[in-house]
Amino acid sequence: MKLYNRQKPATLILSCCLLAGLLFTVSCRKEKSPAPSNEDKNYFVIEDNPNDPVDHSIYTFFKNTGIATFYNDSIYKKRVSKEGETPARYAYIKLSLNYSPVGSANVFSKPLTSRNNIQPLLQLMETEMVPKLPSAGIIPSIYLLDSFSYNQVGKIQIFHGITSISGFNTVGIKVEDVGTMNEEERKMYAASLLAGIAVRRITDGYGSQLQKEFFSLSREATRAIIPVDIYSGYVWLLILAPGMEPSPKDIGFLFYPIFDFPLGDYPNMPLETEDLRAFLTAVFYYTPQEFTDLHPNETLVLKKFGIIRNIAKEAGFKIPD
């Protein structure tokens, strides 16, 4: 039998030695200490612009409340293209009223076209809105708008409570001409703004209680009258002949939303959020005695008012006594 000596090639041995040396060098090299990237930035900080009265008022409001207010949705721009690259490319930090990651909108808004009413509004919010919040921290920022909408209902009035809306990283506020309002109109506008802010906090924190104690009252009152959920948002004429729908007060509502048809305006069944916003506006505006005097013998309306009043108070909002 012949025996063979199998020797490793010199190139393989050399490669193993080089690899071992490289690993030893890397393992012994001193690691660089971690350091902040300085890429994080608080975009909800307002810098003063004393040469512009409106911007200076926004800064003063921020300094007094800690709430950043904007009248444009793009609040920061950073160049991301390389030097000399044409065209230049930028990344934007934007305010959004929608939560959808794919950008589909369920809230439609119109940007502010005039800054004339900003200063009176800031004063109103500082004196009559912010002090009634559980804390200013529940508002990440404020985005001032001409208008916003999330359904097809028209003829919106301030007491409906649809003047503010909590979005992804901001609270959208519909700017009204506060300067021409009387004291009661200012009070109602502030109550409506508070209602729009409170509706999400209360819905998120007390959703089960709302369904069991609040929304169930109007559902029970209409269960034998209509074949659909009263909070479906249907136009009443699809269910009953015009004029045959029950009075909103009889089934526990403060109003019916109005749908704009080419042939006329017709009452709608409300959505849950519309019912809740209206009662929250009333809670922030009226004392219990004032509301009782305004709605005598309206059992369901008074009961729903009391329920929302208790929930709003428990959630930390300051309401009239």
One domain, residues 64 and 177: yes
Separation in Å, CA 113 to CA 77, 131, 170, 202: 21, 28, 19, 32
Does residue 198 lie within any of the structural domains? no
Domain count, the chain: 2
Per the CB < 8 A criterion, the answer to whether 276 and 199 are in contact is yes
Strands (E), 48-202: 69-70, 74-79, 90-94, 108-111, 142-149, 153-154, 164-166, 171-174
Banded pLDDT at 25 (limits 50, 70, 90): low
Does residue 14 lie within any of the structural domains? no
Does residue 299 lie within any of the structural domains? yes
- How much is the pLDDT for 78? 81
List the domain range (segments joined by +) for residue 261: 206-314
Nearest to 90, CA basis, from 105, 102, 75, 80: 80
One domain, residues 102 and 135: yes
Checking 23-29 for CB contacts under 8 A at 24+ apart, the result is: none
Residue reference for tokens 């929250």:
280
Does residue 197 lie within any of the structural domains? no
Does residue 116 lie within any of the structural domains? yes
- How much is the pLDDT for 184? 97
Nearest to 126, CA basis, from 58, 43, 182: 58
Nearest to 72, CA basis, from 50, 48, 43, 101: 43
| Residue 108 scores a pLDDT above 90 | no
Banded pLDDT at 104 (limits 50, 70, 90): very low
Does residue 61 lie within any of the structural domains? yes
Q: Which residue has the higher pLDDT, 223 or 159?
A: 223
One domain, residues 154 and 115: yes
What would the mean pLDDT of 121-132 be, rounded to a whole number?
98
One domain, residues 103 and 174: yes
One domain, residues 179 and 240: no
pLDDT tens figures, 49-72: 999 999 999 999 999 999 999 999
Per the CB < 8 A criterion, the answer to whether 149 and 157 are in contact is no
Banded pLDDT at 3 (limits 50, 70, 90): very low
CA 249, CA 279: separation in Å to the nearest integer? 12
| Residue 39 scores a pLDDT above 70 | no
| Sheet order of strands, 153-154 included | 153-154, 258-261, 264-267
One domain, residues 307 and 210: yes
Nearest to 140, CA basis, from 244, 235, 67, 227: 67
Banded pLDDT at 86 (limits 50, 70, 90): confident
Model's pTM, two decimal places? 0.83
One domain, residues 172 and 234: no
One domain, residues 69 and 176: yes
Does residue 47 lie within any of the structural domains? no
CA 296, CA 306: separation in Å to the nearest integer? 14
CA 14, CA 290: separation in Å to the nearest integer? 95
One domain, residues 62 and 178: yes
One domain, residues 227 and 178: no
Instruction: Out of 149, 183, 217, pick the residue that ends a domain.
Output: 183
One domain, residues 212 and 308: yes
One domain, residues 117 and 160: yes
CA 284, CA 127: separation in Å to the nearest integer? 14
Per the CB < 8 A criterion, the answer to whether 88 and 79 are in contact is yes
Does residue 42 lie within any of the structural domains? no
β-strands 264-267, 258-261 pairing: antiparallel
How does DSSP assign 168-183, residue by residue?
SSSEEEE---GGG--H
Strands (E), the chain: 69-70, 74-79, 90-94, 108-111, 142-149, 153-154, 164-166, 171-174, 258-261, 264-267
Q: What is the mean pLDDT of the chain?
A: 87
pLDDT tens figures, 171-222: 999 999 999 999 999 999 999 999 999 999 999 999 999 999 999 999 999 9
